[in-house]
Amino acid sequence: WYLVERTPFGVKLRASVDNAPMAAALGVRTKSVYAASFAIAVGLAALGGIVGAELLPIEPYYALRYMVTFLVVVSVGGAGSIGGALLACLVLGAVDTTGRYLVPEYGEFFFYLAVIVIVCVFPRGLLGRA
């Protein structure tokens, strides 16, 4: 969040994403900004893969198994809201863990019930940014 919202790189990145021709006209090297943001994303994905491989067994469908959950968490947090995604991660993680601990036979029922309730109450995401 801090990198995107509070640094000169974040200003250039947001300007490049919102209006690339205008950012380029103002002197922002948009290709360099895109390359740097891609490199950061690749590094974070590699770090996530390393941590995930340590904690979970590696299987052929390893990434697909969790992709739906990741997409749901980001959707509940709100598109374009890093803080919302973090809050959704914490809330839905707590609901999922508590539900599986208290009533293990229902599995992910409480997780998806919480998703439905949150999306009905906050259709633009938890922090209201779409």
What burial letters (b/e) apply to 103-122, b meaning 16+ CB within 10 Å? eeeeeeebbeebbeebeeeb
Q: Write down the domain spans for the chain.
A: 1-58, 60-130
Kindly state the tokens that stand for 35: 């390359």
For the whole prediction, is pTM greater than 0.85?
A: no
What's the Cα-to-Cα distance from 113 to each of 5, 8, 22, 104, rounded to whole Å? 32, 40, 44, 15
Give yes or no for a contact between 48 and 94, defined as CB atoms under 8 angstroms apart: no
61-87 tens-digit pLDDT:
777 778 888 888 888 888 777 888 889
38: pLDDT strictly greater than 90:
yes
Give yes or no for a contact between 82 and 1, defined as CB atoms under 8 angstroms apart: yes
